[in-house]
Amino acid sequence: MKLIDGKKTAAKIREEIKAEVAQIIDNNDSAPHLAAILVGDDPASDTYVSHKEKDCKSVGIISSVYRLGKHTTEKELLDTIDFINNDEEIHGLIVQLPLPDHIDMNRVISYIDPVKDVDGFHPLNIGKMTIGQSTYLPATPYGIMELLKRYEIDTSGKHCVILGRSNIVGTPMSILLSRKSDPGNATVTMCHSQTKNLKEITRSADIIIAAIGQPEFVTKDMVKKDAVIIDVGIHRIPSDKTKSGFRLIGDVKFDEVAKNASAITPVPGGVGPMTRVALLLNTLKAFKRTRGL
Ligand code: GUN
């Protein structure tokens, strides 16, 4: 069994980005700049945005965070987006999700300038991804594609089963893996809450991408021998064995599934770090576009 080490791979990619940013600055250019908008005081969102700031700093990307109160109106948020859309010094823009209920998320995402949409959530960018044009890939699918590539996991002609159909993981993953590309060329089955005979389907999978958001959902009886397992889940559960009082587990029952798998991502240290670094890759790409690179 091969452990697919997202932490190590992400660290290597961060070094690659850092070197490229250093080169940009050496050439007397300004550094790439990512702006994040955070609306409200959701603690998890606050943590995610702090991670994004820290990640930017670690590679020399400038980051700005626009913190807006929870009673911010949709109009105020759209005005902030408009302001950033028009700021030539800012290359990438993300609006942290979820947004408060009184704000229409789809309207907000569509308002971001597609060339700055480094989350890859704008409908135009999703359309480009779907037909294979160059664009920003959503961070988690992008990170997974990089892992498959760097670990030389052959996807061509393989049966790839995706558990979960979210807009930001399952759906884009199904599109990327079925495209005529490498990684890609897979035969994809997308499973969701209404899927029947789930175990039958997962047992025929060469590759399983688990993104259902249910702790340890995938068990060894669902997996055929030598399958490749990519675990997107991340759940905090109480533990008396750790100092923090909790530990992280994924959508896959790691200990038992790993024994049967040919390769598997751990949680933590698998997909998570790759998702974080993918945003940096997209920000660098956004910067390079403005320089015609
Ligand atoms: N909330 C959870 N994941 C994401 C993400 O990838 N981008 C943004 N903007 N918000 C999120």
Nearest CA to ligand 1 atom 4: 97
Q: Is 282 in the pocket of ligand 1 (CB under 6 A)?
A: no
CA atoms within 13 A on the CB side of 5: 7
Domains of the chain plus CATH, in order, are 28-114 (3.40.50.10860), 139-272 (3.40.50.720)
CA distance 256 to 266: 12
Under 8 Å CB-to-CB from 6, ≥6 apart: which residues? 143, 147, 265, 266, 269, 270, 271, 272, 273, 274
Model pLDDT, residue 232:
98
Model pLDDT, residue 280:
99
Residue among 5, 55, 96, 117 flagged as catalytic: 96
CA neighbor of 69 nearest in space, from 80, 54, 60, 59:
80
Q: Locate the ligand 1 atom nearest the alpha carbon of residue 36 and give its number.
A: 9
Model pLDDT, residue 202:
98
Q: Bridge partners of 67? A: 38
Model pLDDT, residue 291:
94
Model pLDDT, residue 83:
98
- Given ligand 1 and candidates 42, 94, 116, 167, which is best to mutate, with the most ligand atoms within 8 Å of its CB? 94
Model pLDDT, residue 227:
98
Model pLDDT, residue 131:
97
Q: Bridge partners of 228? A: 207, 263
Count, residues in the chain:
293
Q: How far is the CA of 97 from the centre of ligand 1 (A)?
A: 5
Q: How far is the CA of 287 from the centre of ligand 1 (A)?
A: 20
pLDDT tens for the chain, 293 residues long, are 999 999 999 999 999 999 999 999 999 999 999 999 999 999 999 999 999 999 999 999 999 999 999 999 999 999 999 999 999 999 999 999 999 999 999 999 999 999 999 999 999 999 999 999 999 999 999 999 999 999 999 999 999 999 999 999 999 999 999 999 999 999 999 999 999 999 999 999 999 999 999 999 999 999 999 999 999 999 999 999 999 999 999 999 999 999 999 999 999 999 999 999 999 999 999 999 999 98
- What's the DSSP call for residue 229? E
CA distance 259 to 209: 17
Model pLDDT, residue 42:
95
Under 8 Å CB-to-CB from 170, ≥6 apart: which residues? 162, 163, 164, 190, 192, 209, 211
Catalytic residue list contains 52: yes
Model pLDDT, residue 15:
98
Angle made by CA atoms 30, 32, 38, in degrees to the nearest 5: 130
Q: Is 95 in the pocket of ligand 1 (CB under 6 A)?
A: yes
- The two three-digit tokens of residue 280, written as one number: 């940096």
